[in-house]
Structure 1
């Protein structure tokens, strides 16, 4: 029994874990703004933090997908991608680094928000997809936190699986290249550094 327990602890220690922090600094957008509205964290463009890097995130049909359900990074640095709404799973006065969040594209042709999820089993590994198309998405939550590298107002994303009875196993969101596409995927290596640029909806008078 003791040996089985030691093996389980060894396997758990080989994974990367991130728990929500109650003492971390609040996540900010690229302008240094902190969310304080108690409900929706906000709607943003999710962009690379490094200047000269590719563009923002958007939807694309990859592989044999009949319509766009893959979350990808645009290869064009001037393309901000699609607005993403970031909502807190747990209510608080601001979103501390390590906060569990839901992410969904704010605008679609049908006007429906599209929730991000994680789907495993691809040649590239586990990928970020849109919920509702693939039958067995992983159960868990996305997390947002300040950049591990300390880049000013940059953020990292991770996904933590819900495993009953053990500490949630988490993987970092990164970008991998496959067939010319930049796919959002999960890794145990360093997370990709993103920045948040607040989305300003077009004026009704425009």
Structure 2
């Protein structure tokens, strides 16, 4: 095959294999800096400081390993840092479809600890588990949350879980067993800001 004939085929393969860049607005951390695509780690903490701490992992029900994503009850706890990745060919994460995983997790859990949606006693909850064990097939979406004249609200986001049918459900806080605050499908979104972690460690 001549080089002239091969070139259009190469271009077609490149378009199929590599997602194009996006014009969506980049997700910004609480300091107004773009969130790095799969790079730095960030804490996910509530928009309003007095409404508890950041997200972390805990054992719910008969779990033998911390697999459920929860919000820490104390405002002074930022939780566990996480990484946010996008399929977009961009150095920074644009609003829209994302993959979320904790920067580290317990040794008894999956590696990497990627967020999925699975059924629990309180409904569909955000868990870390192998993708093939998830009860709901789809993906998470991060988009702009509440806006007001407050500067912090410029960097507020909310989370949803969407299916291939483009139907999406809101991810918020569910009051669970023994007062634990679980992330799961609900009507009221969990609005958050992202705080860049200075360093990461493993447990």
Please report how far the alpha carbon of residue 126 of structure 1 lies from its aligned counterpart in structure 2 after TM superposition.
0.8
2:114 is matched with which residue? 115
Is 1:57 the counterpart of 2:58 in the alignment? no
Structure 1 runs of 4+ with >4 Å offset: none
What is the TM-score of this pair, normalised by structure 2? 0.76
Aligned pair in 2 of structure 1 residues 91, 133: CA closer, same or farther (>3 Å)?
A: closer
SS of equivalent to 1:185: strand
| 5+ long unaligned stretches in structure 2 | 1-21
Please report how far the alpha carbon of residue 109 of structure 1 lies from its aligned counterpart in structure 2 after TM superposition.
4.2
| 5+ long unaligned stretches in structure 1 | 1-21
RMSD: 2.4
Structure whose residues are more often helix by fraction: 2
* CA deviation string 1:61-96 (max 9, x = no partner): 111111110000011111111011111133235333
2:103 is matched with which residue? 106
Aligned pair in 2 of structure 1 residues 133, 65: CA closer, same or farther (>3 Å)?
A: farther
Task: Flag the structure with larger Rg.
Answer: 2
* CA deviation string 1:2-34 (max 9, x = no partner): xxxxxxxxxxxxxxxxxxxx6553210000001
Is the deviation greater in 55-64 or in 99-108? 99-108
Is 1:195 the counterpart of 2:197 in the alignment? no
Report the count of equivalent residues. 173
2:156 is matched with which residue? 154
